[in-house]
Amino acid sequence: MAGSEAQMMLAGIRVIDLGSFITAPLAAMMLGDLGADVIKVDRPGGDPFRRGDGTAYSATFAAYNRNKRSVIIDCSTPAGREAQLKLIDTADAVIDNYRTPVLIKLGLDPDMLRARNPRLVHCSISGFGSTGPYQARAAFDTVGQALSGIAGLMVDPEKPEAFGPTISDNVTGMYAAYGVMGALLERGRTGKGRRLEVNMLESSMAFM
């Protein structure tokens, strides 16, 4: 399929990217590659990947954030939280990579978002999900690779060093994009949105 044709698949769909680093930005970027209107919400200071090389558009940032528009919103203020909610009211899908307690702190309670916008597809990505003993823990790619067993296939136990692609981050973002597209298709039949949870550990184990 030609690139221009692929970019029409999700035309008319608006996605709000509340993420940083890789998982959520990758998922949103994949939807943007298919034509969705993706708006990346940056906190003051921006995504940590932005200034990886001293500029606002490092190579790493660009690799996960093409086909997006950006806006800076300070959610630590009441005005910022309200501005973010009004933006989400216009969305078909929201993707974040916050743990549930952080979502609540930022004024993004999933039940409240669903009440405001019943058609919203809300996908949250975390390290270990919203239940279980690790639910409050943050996770990065190396943690996902180590706990899922991926690292054990590639790393020398006598000299453990992280190297190669960010497999856990990338497959988690891909599974999230896959889930959002399925939920949008379901919404076309039912008229109702859906809450999705994707976590790095289970995504990495499934990929294995």
Angle at 65 between CA 59 and CA 70, to 5 degrees: 115
Q: Is 169 assigned a catalytic role?
A: yes
Task: Please tell me which residue in 42, 47, 92, 169 is annotated as part of the active site.
Answer: 169
Q: Are 40 and 71 in contact (CB under 8 A)?
A: yes
What percent of the residues of the chain are helix, what percent strand, and what percent coil, each to the nearest 5? 45, 15, 40
Residue type, 70: S
- Cα–Cα distance measured from residue 76 to residue 38, given in angstroms and rounded to the nearest whole number: 23
User: Is 18 within 8 Å of 38 (Cβ atoms)?
Assistant: no
Q: Which residues are designated catalytic?
A: 169
